[in-house]
């Protein structure tokens, strides 16, 4: 089998980029050939980061990556640019399909799918992954934002109607998409949740030595955006400090919320560290030194429907996890006190959950023991095999 993949982010350190890079890399190892079209910022494109990152990640020899420059910030103009790229690449896809060079097209985000959905011969060979209700992540109410929201709704519905297969992180997200787009397909969606590279995790565990720090490290891993609740976490750590004086807030990541979080930490005189973006393996090494990972994310369609990759990786690393009690965890049988400790996205609740973990050794041991068992369900090898087996069944 030969695959053509289009994804907005393949290089980079966001959760979406890490997930897509690892998933497509594993898929590539199981097929004859894999072509990837992706984007990087103009700065990275001019710096020829492609070659450096390819060497660092050790991509398979049968993988060809085509990198295009695009501004990092998502705007209406950028989205129109992605649509234009989809139309152009779909022509290339038609030629590759005619030459029998491509059997399957995998696309993350319906913005990149419109060109492929225009041609029926390509559409029936195309998997479109809809990872989120994009308009819920847009806070602005200007003209450009309204156009962008309308566009994403239209393109999601087009993908539901035309794509050979729809992929989602899980059934909660699919039901939300079907309801919001007023369209239900006759076939079952393909489940492609965030995953974990268990071999990489085992290497990280071997490399990280026993903790020597005298501080209690409460951490967060990922992008600092409004829905992540990192400002809530900072205020919770300020409350926690009354009971745990040596607590330290460790944030492995960066983003637009950084100035606010830094301001809270300084106002409460907290010990804190914000690493900025780190390469994936370095981020995991830092995460492995935490005493607990806390993700008090706010409630909206995406957080209610997706298990974040950071949580799966924390389970694999045997880290206790404190997280908002979102619907996706309840539906998947994730139990309070067995797999995670639940909280509400407000400082007092988060602080109480953290104290519960840090002061109860039996609870801490149980979470550390059960985490790796849960993570095994999200092994990229299993996810990739399920994708290929599902497609084989459909063809037969």
State how far the alpha carbon of 306 is from the alpha carbons of 27, 132, 227, 263, in Å: 22, 8, 13, 29
Task: Give the span between the Cα atoms of 68 and 377, in whole angstroms.
Answer: 34
Task: Give the span between the Cα atoms of 228 and 230, in whole angstroms.
Answer: 6
pLDDT of residue 40: 81
In the sheet with 104-108, reading across from the earlier edge strand, the strands are 63-69, 33-40, 2-9, 104-108, 126-129, 165-168, 190-191
CATH entry 3.40.50.300 includes domain 198-378? no
Q: What is the dihedral of CA 72, 77, 80, 82, to 10 degrees?
A: -10
Residue 51: pLDDT band by 50, 70, 90 thresholds?
A: low
CATH number of the domain located at residue range(s) 2-194+379-395 in this protein: 3.40.50.2000
Q: What is the separation of C-alpha 231 from the centre of its chain, rounded to a whole number of angstroms?
A: 20
Task: Give the span between the Cα atoms of 307 and 172, in whole angstroms.
Answer: 11
Tokens representing 46 are 């001019």
Please report, rounded to a whole number, the percentage of residues in the chain having pLDDT higher than 90: 72
Inform me whether the pLDDT recorded for 98 exceeds 80.
yes
Residue 146: pLDDT band by 50, 70, 90 thresholds?
A: confident
Residue 79: pLDDT band by 50, 70, 90 thresholds?
A: confident
**CB < 8 Å & 24+ apart, contacts of 323-332:** 323/294, 323/295, 323/296, 323/297, 324/229, 324/295, 324/296, 324/297, 324/298, 324/299, 326/297, 326/299, 327/172, 328/170, 328/172, 328/173, 328/304, 331/170, 331/171, 331/172, 332/170, 332/307
Task: Give the span between the Cα atoms of 191 and 379, in whole angstroms.
Answer: 13
Residue 323: pLDDT band by 50, 70, 90 thresholds?
A: very high
Instruction: Give counts: helices (H), strands (E), the chain.
Output: 18, 13
pLDDT of residue 13: 79
pLDDT in tens, 182-217: 999 999 999 999 999 999 999 999 888 766 678 999
Average pLDDT over residues 171-190: 92
pLDDT in tens, 325-372: 999 999 999 999 999 999 999 999 999 999 999 999 999 999 999 999
Average pLDDT over residues 149-155: 90
Residue, of 170 and 135, whose pLDDT is higher = 170
Q: Collapse the DSSP code of 362 into the 3-class scheme (helix H, G, I; strand E, B; otherwise coil) and give the result.
A: helix
Average pLDDT over residues 270-299: 95
Residue 43: pLDDT band by 50, 70, 90 thresholds?
A: confident
Average pLDDT over residues 283-311: 95
pLDDT of residue 157: 95
Pair 181, 157: CB distance under 8 Å: yes
Task: Give the span between the Cα atoms of 9 and 19, in whole angstroms.
Answer: 9
Residue spans in the chain of domains classed CATH 3.40.50.2000: 2-194+379-395, 198-378
Of 58-67, 85-94, 117-126, 223-232, the range with the lowest mean pLDDT is 58-67
Average pLDDT over residues 43-60: 64
Averaged pLDDT score across all residues of the chain: 91
Sign, CA dihedral 375-275-251-193, equals: negative
pLDDT of residue 366: 97
Task: Give the span between the Cα atoms of 64 and 32, in whole angstroms.
Answer: 12
């Amino acid at each position: 089998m030969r695959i053509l993949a289009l994804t907005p982010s393949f290089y980079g350190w966001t959760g979406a980029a890490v997930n897509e890079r690892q998933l497509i890399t594993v898929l590539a190892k199981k097929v004859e050939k894999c072509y990837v079209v992706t984007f990087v910022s103009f700065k990275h494109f001019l710096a020829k980061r492609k070659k450096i990152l390819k060497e660092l990640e050790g991509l398979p020899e049968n993988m060809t990556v085509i990198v295009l420059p695009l501004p990092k910030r998502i705007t209406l103009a950028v989205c129109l640019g992605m649509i234009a790229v989809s139309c152009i690449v779909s022509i290339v896809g038609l030629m590759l399909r005619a030459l029998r060079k491509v059997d399957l097209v995998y696309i993350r985000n319906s913005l990149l799918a419109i060109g492929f959905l225009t041609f029926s011969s390509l559409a029936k060979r195309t998997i479109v992954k809809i990872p989120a209700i994009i308009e819920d992540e847009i806070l602005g109410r200007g003209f450009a934002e309204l156009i962008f929201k309308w566009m994403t709704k239209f393109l999601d519905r087009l993908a539901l109607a035309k794509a050979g297969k729809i992929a989602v992180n899980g059934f909660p997200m699919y039901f939300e998409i079907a309801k919001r787009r007023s369209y239900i397909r006759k076939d079952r969606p393909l489940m492609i949740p965030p995953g974990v590279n268990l071999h990489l995790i085992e290497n990280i565990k071997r490399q990280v030595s026993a903790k020597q720090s005298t501080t209690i490290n409460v951490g967060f891993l990922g992008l600092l955006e409004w829905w992540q609740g990192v400002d809530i976490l900072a205020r919770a750590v300020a409350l926690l400090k009354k009971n745990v004086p040596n607590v330290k807030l460790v944030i492995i990541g960066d983003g637009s919320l950084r100035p606010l979080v830094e301001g809270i930490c300084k106002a409460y005189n907290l010990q804190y560290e914000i690493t900025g973006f780190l390469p994936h393996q370095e981020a995991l090494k830092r995460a492995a030194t935490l005493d607990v990972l806390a993700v008090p994310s706010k409630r909206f369609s995406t957080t209610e429907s997706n298990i974040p990759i950071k949580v799966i990786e924390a389970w694999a690393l045997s880290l206790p996890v404190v997280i908002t009690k979102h619907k996706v965890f309840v539906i998947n049988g994730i139990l309070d006190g067995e797999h995670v400790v639940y909280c509400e996205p407000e400082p007092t609740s988060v602080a109480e959950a953290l104290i519960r973990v840090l002061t109860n050794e039996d609870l801490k041991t149980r979470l550390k023991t059960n985490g790796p068992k849960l993570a095994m369900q999200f092994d990229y090898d299993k996810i990739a095999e399920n994708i290929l087996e599902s497609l084989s069944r459909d063809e037969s």
